[in-house]
Structure 1
Amino acid sequence: MIELRNVSKVYPNGARGLDRIDLQIDDGEFVVIVGLSGAGKSTFLRSINRLHEISEGEIMINGNSITKARGNELYRIRRDIGMIFQNFNLVRRSSVMRNVLSGRVGYHSTLKMLLGLFSKQDKALAMDALKRVNIAEKAYIRADQLSGGQQQRVSIARALAQEAKVILADEPVASLDPITTKQVMDDLLRINQELHITMVVNLHSVDLAKAYASRIIGLNKGKVVFDGKAAEATDEVFASIYGNQNHEQTTKQIGVAK
Structure 2
Amino acid sequence: MSLRKITLLKDKIEDFDSYPFSLPFIRHMDQLYLEHPVTFFVGENGSGKSTLLEGIAYQCGFHTASGSRNNSYEVDQSQSALGDYLRLSWLPKLTNGFFMRAESFYNFANHIDETEKICPTGYNNYGGKSLHHQSHGESFLSLFTQKFTKSREQSIYLLDEPEAALSPARQLSLMRIIKDLSPRSQFIIATHSPILLGYPNAEIISFDQDRLQSVDYQDTDHYQITRRFLENPKRILDELFNDND
TM-score with structure 2 length normalisation?
A: 0.62
Contact 1:7 1:54 in 2 (8 A): no
Contact (CA 8 Å) 1:206, 1:255: kept in 2 or not? no
- The percentage of counterpart residues that share the same residue type is 14
1:12 to 18, 43, 47: 18
- Partners of 1:183 and 1:55 in 2: how far apart? 31
1:68: which partner in 2? none
Alignment of 1:93-112 (within 5 A): none
Q: Sort the Cα spacing of 1:17 and 1:78 in 2 relative to 1 into closer, same or farther, 3 A.
A: farther
Aligned AA (1:179): A
RMSD over aligned Cα, in angstroms?
3.9
Q: Equivalences for 1:70-109 in 2 at 5 Å?
A: 79-87=95-103, 88-89=105-106, 90-92=108-110
Q: How many residues are matched?
A: 198
Q: Is the 8 A contact 2:163 2:193 kept in 1?
A: no
Of 186, 202, 208, the match for 1:214 = 202
Residue deviations 1:205-228, cap 9 Å, x none? 23421235521111125630x315
SS in 1 for 2:158: strand
CA distance in 2, matches of 1:153, 1:255: 30
Shift of 1:33: 1.1
Structure 2: runs of 5 or more not aligned? 59-63, 65-79, 232-245
1:98-177 equivalence runs, <5 A: 115-116=118-119, 138-139=127-128, 141-156=129-144, 157-159=146-148, 163=153, 165-177=155-167
Identify the residue that residue 173 of structure 2 maps to in structure 1.
183
Q: Does 1:23 align with 2:32?
A: yes
Q: Which one-letter code corresponds to 2:98 in the other structure?
A: G
The answer to whether the 8 Å contact 2:7/2:87 transfers is yes
C-alpha separation in 1, matches of 2:170 and 2:162: 11
Cross-structure match for 2:56? 48
Q: Indicate the larger mover: 174-183 or 54-63.
A: 54-63
> Whole-Å Cα distance in 2 between the matches of residues 255 and 213 of structure 1?
24
CA deviation after TM superposition for structure 1 residue 200, in Å: 0.3
The residue aligned with 1:70 is: none
- Do 2:6 and 2:32's aligned partners in 1 also have CA atoms closer than 8 Å? yes
1:80 Cα deviation after fit: 2.9
TM-score, L = length of structure 1: 0.60
**Larger proportion of strand:** 1
CA separation of 1:214/1:94 partners in 2, compared to 1, >3 Å: closer, same or farther? closer
Q: Tell me by how many angstroms 1:185 deviates.
A: 2.9
Taking the aligned partners of 1:189 and 1:255, their CA distance within structure 2 comes to: 28
Q: Which runs of 5+ in 1 are unaligned?
A: 65-76, 100-113, 243-249
